[in-house]
A and B are shown apart, each in its own frame.
Chain A
């Protein structure tokens, strides 16, 4: 069975600080996909990134960056110079190859204070 753990329930930072959201996953499959979604107060899940298990290259998109390490089964997400608009619940998720649904972590609530 697959499992995603987001150990940080809530994080609070001051604007312009950097913050890292942790994600640890469990699966016995060698082919899988990892995702991060953002859920702002409006409630809609917004897709941020997808990585497959064969691509461990880190990715940067503006102030966002992702660190994928298969050796530790982690897929961490860093926001640089956080802004108030980054306040949301962030979910890490996993799916296997083929026709399988997403398995989500419980989410990390990020509050960025001005």
Chain B
């Protein structure tokens, strides 16, 4: 079956601009996670959805970052007033149930802020 998909695969933007990153999870997966991976580092947690609601957003670095999942499937990560330090690969993962279930990852979106 289809895996987790993310669009766009690459996004280049200018400092101060607004960007949206999209994640389409595996069909039937109720849990969805966003992570951020900087060069040479492991992925770091940003936010977790169980269904439509954000169950844990403790990893969001500041209020410029926001994510939604209005229908419990596709999720959008939104970054306002982008900064050069936001440049990273943004990874999305989904699982059948949160926490103890295996998370399957998408290919990521590489964001570059000039």
Which residues of A line the B interface, CB within 8 A? 4, 33, 35, 37, 42-47, 50, 52, 91, 93, 95-107
Q: How far is the CB of B41 from chain A (nearest CB, A)?
A: 6
Say yes or no: B55 contacts A104, CB within 8 Å: no
A91 to chain B, nearest CB (A): 5
- What's the Cα separation between A72 and B61 when bound, in Å? 33
Q: Which of B40, B56, B107, B110 contacts A99 (CB 8 A)?
A: B56
CB pair A45 B59 closer than 8 Å: no
A21, B77: Cα distance in complex, Å: 33
Residues of A within 8 A of B48 (CB): 99, 101
B104 engages A47 (CB within 8 Å): yes
Please indicate which of the listed interface residues A91, A96, A104 has the most CB atoms of chain B within 10 Å of its own CB. Answer: A104
Roughly how many angstroms separate A42 CA and B50 CA in the complex, as a whole number?
29
Q: Are B106 and A105 in contact (CB under 8 A)?
A: no
Distance in angstroms from B75 CB to nearest chain A CB is 14
Which of A45, A95, A98 is the one whose CB lies under 8 Å from B105? A45
Nearest 3 interchain pairs by C-beta: A104-B42, A99-B98, A45-B105
Nearest chain B CB to A37 CB, angstrom units: 8
Q: Give 18 pairs: A residue, B residue, CB < 8 Å, sorted on A.
A: A4-B42, A35-B102, A43-B107, A44-B107, A44-B108, A46-B105, A47-B104, A95-B100, A97-B99, A97-B100, A98-B99, A98-B100, A99-B50, A99-B98, A101-B99, A102-B43, A102-B93, A106-B40
A93, B42: Cα distance in complex, Å: 9
Looking across the interface, which residue of chain B has its beta carbon closest to that of A9? Answer: B40
